[in-house]
Each structure stands twice: as C-alpha cells, then as structure tokens.
Amino acid sequence: MNSNIKKHPFRLIIVLLSLFFSIIDWTERPTTSAYEILFGFIHIGLLLIALWFPRISFVGLIFMESVACSLPVLNGPSRFWGIYCTIGLTAYETGISITTVLGIFVFLGIQCYQIARWNNGEIDIISITVFLMYAAATVIVGYGFHWWKTTNEQHLQNYQSKEYELQHSFSLQNSDNAIMLHDSVAQCLTSIRLIAQRQSNDPQNDAWEKIDKIARKGLEATRDIIDTMIQDNNENGIPIESSEWWLAVKRLTDECDYILHQHGFTGTTEIINGGFTVQQQVTVKNIDILHEVLRELCSNIIKHAPKYSEFQSSIALQKSQTEIVMSNSMSTIPDEERSGRGLESRRRKLNLIGGEIDHEVDGDTWIVYARIPLTMVSPDKAATESMEDNEHEKYSPRKRGKTRSVECQREQMARKEHKAQK
C-alpha cells in the first residue's frame, strides 16, 4: 500500500488538503449532535480510504450523504471537502469520464435536496453555484494531474522500448561476434590440436605436445569468452533457456554429445542465441529434422574420425532458422558420390523445406554446415524471406568463415600444384 501512495503522490496531496480544510470548518462550526459527530468520523475514514481506493471512497461518500438526507444531520460545509476530494481523485483516475460527470450530478442532487430540506423548500442558488465552481476546479486539477501522469508513463514506455531495442541490437551483435569467434579462432585452435595430437605419437616430437597444450589453453580461453558473451546476452533480456525450442535443442545436443563420448570422442556442442525469441513457433517437425541431421553428423564422426579425437560443434538459434557447424578430424574422407544414404539424403530433404547442408574439406579436417528453417510460410512470403535470408547469408559471419575456408583450401591446392610442376 505504501508503494501505491508513492506511485500516486497526488492522492496524498489532495487528501491532506481536504482533511486540513475540513478541520478548519469543524473548528469554526463545531458539531453538536451525535449523528453529526458520527458522520464526521465516517467522513475522515472515507478520506483516508481514498489514499488507496479512491473509487470505494467515492461510492462511500455518495452513500453517506444519501443516508444523511433522511437523518437530522446538518448539511455542514466540512463534508463538502470530502466530496470535492473524491471528484478530483476520480478525474485523476479516469479522466473526464462518465463516472466523474455522474458523480458530480449525484452529489449536486443530494446537496439540492439537503439545502431545500433545511431551508423550508427553498434552494440557495449561491450555494449551488459555489459547489459547481469547486467541483469544476477539482475536475480540472484532477484531469491535469491525470494528463501529466499518462504523458510521463507514455514517455517511460517509449524510453523502455527504445532501450530494449538497443539492448536487443547489442545482444544480436554480441551473438554474431560469438559466432565469428567460434567459427574462426576456436575452429583454428581445434584444427591445430588435431594435428598436434596426431604428431605427438612420435616420442621425438616433444614440441607437438607443447603445441597441443598451448592450443588447448587458447581453446579453453576462447570458449570461456564465448560463454561469457552468451551469458551477457541472456542477462540483457533474452530469457530463452526456458522456451520449448531451446529445451528441445539442448536435449538433442546432450544426447549427441553423450553418444560421441561413449565412443571415446571429446568435445561439446555449444548453443548460441543468434536472435531467437521466446515467441518463435516450434513444431514437432522442426525437432525431428534437427534430430535426423545431428544423428547423421554423429554417425559420420563415429565412422570416419580417429578414435579419441576431438570434435567441435555449435548450433546458432536464429529468428527464422537454425544453423549448425560441426568440424572434426577425418582419418578417411568419405566419398561424396557414395554418400547417397548419408549427407546427400539429408541434403535432398532439407532442400524440400528451404534448408541446406554442405561440407568442405580443409586438409584432413571435415567441416559440415547445415541450415534448418523453423517454420513453413506461404509461397509469396517464403520467396520474400528467401531473398532476405540470402542477403543475410551474404554477410553472415558463418558464411564469411565458410568462404574463407574455401579460399584457403584453393590456395593450398594451388601451392601443391605449383610444387608438383617444379
């Protein structure tokens, strides 16, 4: 209740003023009968109730004055301040509404009846005019504070909306940076470790063990930075860990990691927020497709990667799609022409729903890139979103990283051909 008073200081101001003027009137015209004393205390109680429940106080005063019409209670001016207070508070709460206008006319009718009753049927026009002037003044003051309150609330909402949009843009930028860091530095350090682990079997190559340790420390530091960036995104107003899609992806990635760990491989799959929101619609079909793709990628690692090697995997949850990047060392590179039941079958299924899956070979490192759309839309909207997605992919950090890897691969092939010619 105290917080409610702090939120609406106008209530406290107008109630205190009404009590102050009521007490002054009571001292100038002291009450004598028990009814008047009782109604005076009821009036004070209803004024205090107006601090928290002005509408209840408004109705209570109407009822009290209606009862006073049938009792030998003088129409003291002290009680008018409570009427003016509730009229002003009603205008403050609802503006110039039907409730405020009806309240004024009800109080006016009650006052006319009381004046006529105590003046032998005559109505004092001056008293009626004074009542209407005070009522109009309180309505103007109450509505003025109502306008001031609503204007400030609107400004606050606009400010919070802009602040949220700014935080959201920073969070998306932070997510893109985390993706770039994962797909560039972390991928390179993982490749260095894979090479060092293969060369460290030779007892004479102690330097490879040092390289592996240095790369491992760098990879751990890089992953700590990525985790910190993702955690900052979650603390900045993107609570997606409790959403249905996030939990489904987390369950599938944990299952995939568990299968690979059971076969002796090391590594973890990281989930990155790339603009996903809790309002995103998720269907069982989305989960089934992601499950099939992850199962195929795990199967490739188990079949073709050397035992006890490390894999690196990340899943970026974006607004309209999910991106997967998985890399590992391959002891035998599978022939694409003979992979019709593997990646090629998944590629055909993803193409039917607007997705894609592709792979590239950088030395003996196998890198798989997959994009899975989340929802099915109408053909016109799909064409529009497809153009937007293509434009986004053109500047996507994952796409840029993929292009860089292909360019590096071509440079290596060119150098090999040049050496062979020599």
135 lies in a domain? Answer: no
Does the pLDDT value for residue 375 go beyond 70?
A: no
Cβ-based neighbours of 307, under 8 Å, separated by 6 or more: 263, 264, 265
What is the share, in percent, of the chain residues with pLDDT greater than 90?
A: 2
Residues 244 and 318 in one domain: yes
What is the share, in percent, of the chain residues with pLDDT greater than 70?
A: 67
Residues 165 and 118 in one domain: no
User: Model's pTM, two decimal places?
Assistant: 0.42
pLDDT average, residue stretch 369-379:
65
Residue with the bigger pLDDT between 227 and 316: it is: 316
Domain that holds residue 278: 161-421
Residues 240 and 356 in one domain: yes
Give the end of a domain, one of 71, 101, 123.
123
Predicted pLDDT at 416: 46
- Of the pLDDT bands very low, low, confident and very high (cuts 50, 70, 90), residue 198 is low
- Of the pLDDT bands very low, low, confident and very high (cuts 50, 70, 90), residue 79 is low
Looking up residue 224, the CATH number of its domain turns out to be 3.30.565.10
Predicted pLDDT at 203: 63
Residues 311 and 416 in one domain: yes
CA distance 357 to 309: 23
Q: What tokens appear for 400 in the block?
A: 């840029």
Residues 342 and 220 in one domain: yes
Predicted pLDDT at 255: 92
155 lies in a domain? Answer: no
Query: Picking from 305-319, 349-363, 375-389, which range would have the lowest pLDDT averaged per residue?
Result: 375-389
Residues 266 and 360 in one domain: yes
Predicted pLDDT at 230: 64
Give the end of a domain, one of 93, 123, 153.
123
CB 338 within 8 Å of CB 313? no
Total domains in the chain come to: 2
Predicted pLDDT at 400: 42
Residues 191 and 66 in one domain: no
Predicted pLDDT at 374: 75
145 lies in a domain? Answer: no
> How far is CA 85 from each of CA 57, 223, 231, 235, 269, rounded to the nearest angstrom?
10, 63, 51, 45, 65
Residues 64 and 194 in one domain: no
Residue with the bigger pLDDT between 418 and 59: it is: 59
Predicted pLDDT at 261: 92
Predicted pLDDT at 260: 92
Residue with the bigger pLDDT between 276 and 309: it is: 309
Q: Give the range with max mean pLDDT: 91-95, 235-239, 337-341.
A: 91-95
130 lies in a domain? Answer: no
pLDDT average, residue stretch 30-45:
74
CA distance 44 to 56: 14
- Of the pLDDT bands very low, low, confident and very high (cuts 50, 70, 90), residue 233 is low
pLDDT average, residue stretch 219-246:
65
CA distance 290 to 326: 13
Residues 277 and 169 in one domain: yes
pLDDT average, residue stretch 17-29:
74
269 lies in a domain? Answer: yes
CA distance 85 to 148: 18
Does the pLDDT value for residue 420 go beyond 70?
A: no
pLDDT tens-digit readout, 327-364: 877 765 555 444 445 667 777 777 767 788 888 777 67
pLDDT average, residue stretch 200-228:
75
Residues 247 and 378 in one domain: yes
Does the pLDDT value for residue 13 go beyond 80?
A: no
Does the pLDDT value for residue 49 go beyond 60?
A: yes
260 lies in a domain? Answer: yes
Average pLDDT, the chain: 71
Residue with the bigger pLDDT between 27 and 402: it is: 27
Give the end of a domain, one of 72, 102, 123.
123
pLDDT tens-digit readout, 255-292: 999 999 998 898 888 887 766 665 555 677 888 888 88
285 lies in a domain? Answer: yes
Q: How far is CA 347 from the centre of its chain?
A: 34
Predicted pLDDT at 292: 87
131 lies in a domain? Answer: no
Residues 313 and 174 in one domain: yes
Residues 272 and 409 in one domain: yes
